[in-house]
Amino acid sequence: MFKVKISLIYFVLVCLLGGASYIFVNELENRFDGSLQGAVEHANRSFLKLKELERQEMRQQVSLLANSAVKAYLGVLSRNRPALVKIQEELSKISEREQDGYVRRVHGETLGRIAREIVAAATGRIGGNKPGNESERKDAEQRIFNRLVRCAPNTFNCFQTFTHESLRRDVVDAVFSEEKPNLVLVVNNKGYGITAHHDDKWPSKEELEVRKQIPAVLQVSDGAIRYGVHYDAIRSSFFFIAVAPVFYSGEFAGAIVLGRQISKDMLKKEAAIIGQKLAYVYDNKIATSSAEDSGDEAYLNGILKTLLGAGNGRRESKVKLVAEGYIAYFNRLSDYSTPTKHDGVSSIVKPVDFRYLLVLDRGSLKDKIASMRAWILLLTVLVFVFGMVFIHLFFNQYVNSFKRIDQGVHELINGNRDYEFPFDYGEELPSSMAQSLNIMLAILLDRPLPEDQDESLGDWSDEMFVDEASGARPIPKSEADSASRQVSTVVTKQELAQEPAETYYKRIYNEYVTARSQLGQSSEKVTYMKFIEKLVKNEALLKKKYNCKAVRFAVVIKDGKVTLKPIQID
């Protein structure tokens, strides 16, 4: 019954431990969830700040482009466009072989004036001449004059040649010292494309009317830089763009379009900065994402589908979704979607439904939590099973000792009064009990002294006690003569009275055997049981003789013999 009770208690303790561990894991999950939600909020703020910094950088860069030497070429040529168109019309009636001489002879003064005006306007600007160097100025005027002569038959070629060469040769490299832009377009004051830094043959017929693709190229005539998202059908790619106006002598001469391609590389860099998965969404579809592979792409598409399926596809939606495997933040890029103003700088007027999706993956956390729960269950079961096995083995071993003692008791009941309890059980309690029973039997049964039973005990038994049968009083340590030597470590009455009987009997036996060994005397026949029987017998005799509470002994070496001196305990 006791074994069953212990098993039940152990079972309850194991269940409590497992339950506490399970609760701890749940609390840990809740804390992590709180941290993750805080992390995605922080990531959202970081992302918006990142986009703001990118917008400011693009504003600075497009402003530099709009005020570079390109401004001089675009502004001066736009201002003199009527004169250039007139020259073009005249040259159309002359053979190509005669055009060069005709232009130099008839319109040389006009083109020379335009060349000087361009050099003067470009001097000191990015891509222009350095001020104060007269020889360089004259060389520049001559080069520009010659190029004007060559492009005179086609006015558009003049615009394209000068602006493209300026962009490619000087301006872009000066403004963008590190990462080069993906898109730089020069547009005239009518909204038609003139050139692009990446392609000297741009624009094609389909790309000529930039004003239809990017209405902001005309809207910036009010002087405000605009931002937006542009889809390039030729490249099949989205761009973040900044559009800056070009003014010359107070007149709108055209615009500069600066674009950064919304590529997978861009999103990977941004995702690395904010530490989350990132996707840009256009028309409720993922335009570009930071996905590493098709599996990641499908994962993000699944999240977007969930968001839209929950009715979050409306234009005004701003959604934070906490799901089983992820936390998602779905929002619109306000700078690129609504006609708002920031620091006096308008965004593109035409709203663009371009949004971003931030995703923090909780899957790895969920997997770890699930793994921890599984381990807790497994370990709880293993601890219970191994504990029960241990309890079973322990009780069997422990109870077996008491079963043997119980068998000895039955031996005595059945009349075997010579039975002696073995006391080598390996456990203190049953061994001590067996020793105590042997001592009790020696006292109660009044067994004859060992020397009366067995003559083979020898001298050790005859010399074991001092004055054991005489009428002398016990001899304390303080009264021992100089020829004696005390061996016992515990000899005062107080110490002996407080020492447990089991400890006392073991100690006195060990001290007796050790002392005999020191004198070179054999202790082979001095068995513990015989020693204790004789000791207890003499204790009883002396206790009765001196009418005291108890008698204890101290081991003494005297006259080359090991003896036991009685000490009276009152």
Same domain (yes/no): 213, 343: yes
Do residues 126 and 236 both lie within one domain?
Answer: yes
Burial 376-406 (b: 16+ CB within 10 A, else e): beeebeeebeeeeeeeeeeeeebeebeeebe
Residue 371 lies in a domain: no
Residues 167 and 271 both lie in one domain = yes
Q: Does residue 280 fall inside a structural domain?
A: yes
Q: Is 400 within a domain?
A: no
All residues at 6 or more sequence positions from 318 whose CB lies less than 8 Å from its CB, including other chains:
330, 331, 332
Does 413 map to a domain?
A: no
The domain boundary, picked from 339, 361, 383, lies at 361
Q: How far is CA 230 from CA 134, 352, 373, 484, 502, in A?
A: 44, 9, 50, 115, 98
Query: pLDDT tens digits for 392-428?
Result: 777 777 777 788 888 888 888 888 877 877 766 667 6
CATH number of domain containing 235: 3.30.450.20
Sequence letter at residue 122: A
Q: What is the tens place of the pLDDT at every residue in 134-175?
A: 888 899 899 999 999 999 999 988 898 888 888 877 788 888
In a domain, 196, yes or no: yes
How many structural domains compose the chain? 2
Q: Is 340 in the same domain as 464?
A: no
Is 5 within a domain? no
Measured CA to CA, the distance from residue 453 to residue 443 in angstroms comes to 16
Last residue of one domain, picked from the residues 304, 334, 361: 361
Query: Quick one: pLDDT at residue 194?
Result: 92
Residues 72-94 pLDDT 10s: 999 999 999 999 999 999 999 99
> Same domain for 217 and 324?
yes
Containing domain of residue 514, as a range?
Answer: 456-569
Last residue of a domain, one of 338, 361, 384: 361
Structural domain contains residue 432: no
Angle between helices 2-66 and 264-274 (to 10 degrees): 130
Please enumerate in sequence order all residues whose Cβ is within 8 A of that of 66, keeping only pairs 6 or more positions apart, or say none. Answer: 244, 245, 246, 255, 256
**CA–CA separation, 447 vs 71, rounded Å?**
130
DSSP state of 479: G
pLDDT of residue 87: 93
Q: What is the pLDDT of residues 522-570, one digit of tens each?
A: 888 787 777 887 888 888 888 888 888 888 888 888 888 888 888 888 7
Please give the mean pLDDT across all residues of the chain: 79
> Is a pLDDT exceeding 80 seen at residue 508?
yes
Laid out side by side, the sheet with 226-232 consists of 193-196, 183-188, 251-261, 237-248, 226-232
Residue 472's pLDDT is 38
Name the least confident of 172-176, 440-444, 448-452: 448-452
pTM: 0.60
Please report whether residue 16 resides in a domain: no
What pLDDT does 337 receive?
46
pLDDT band at 350 (very low <50, low <70, confident <90, very high): very low
3-state secondary structure of 62: helix
Query: For 503-524, what is the mean pLDDT?
Result: 87
Task: Report d(CA 181, CA 545) in Å as an integer.
Answer: 118
End-to-end CA distance of the chain: 44
pLDDT value at residue 295:
83
Do 347 and 466 lie in one domain? The reply is: no
